[in-house]
Amino acid sequence: GAVVSQHPSRVICKSGTSVKIECRSLDFQATTMFWYRQFPKQSLMLMATSNEGSKATYEQGVEKDKFLINHASLTLSTLTVTSAHPEDSSFYICSALRTGNTEAFFGQGTRLTVV
């Protein structure tokens, strides 16, 4: 149990376009999901906390208008990178917190390349 799936696993997009990344908890309900960003050879940096049915909470320095987060159901959160630029190229990882639990489960990540 406790499987989190991200889609797509890899995406290449042109500069100026928008990209949507999905994070699904397949076998449990997740009131809260988290979005992280990982640069090569670096650690994961928390971008935002996504709560079902309410606005996401963004970490300091993360542009909420650029990284749109929607958590419309207990099993799905989406991250949309709007007007992507090459510097947005990174590995984006989500995690989902099972309702009533304190352990988060991670998706496999999405490699975004903006050309």
Partner 1 sequence: AQSVSQHNHHVILSEAASLELGCNYSYGGTVNLFWYVQYPGQHLQLLLKYFSGDPLVKGIKGFEAEFIKSKFSFNLRKPSVQWSDTAEYFCAVNVYNQGGKLIFGQGTELSVKP
The residue ranges that bind partner 1 (CB under 8 A) are: 32, 34, 36, 41-46, 49, 93, 95, 97, 101-104, 106-109
CB of 15 to partner 1, least distance (A): 26
Query: Of 61, 60, 79, whose CA–CA distance to 69 is shortest?
Result: 79
The CA dihedral of 47, 14, 18, 4, to the nearest 10 degrees, is -50
Judged by CB, which is closer to partner 1: 43, or 54?
43
Q: Which amino acid is at 47?
A: M
CB of 78 to partner 1, least distance (A): 18
CB of 8 to partner 1, least distance (A): 14
Judged by CB, which is closer to partner 1: 19, or 96?
96
- 3-state DSSP assignment of residue 88: helix
Give Cα separations from 115 to 35, 75, 84, 109 (angstroms): 22, 31, 9, 19
Judged by CB, which is closer to partner 1: 57, or 82?
57
CB of 4 to partner 1, least distance (A): 9
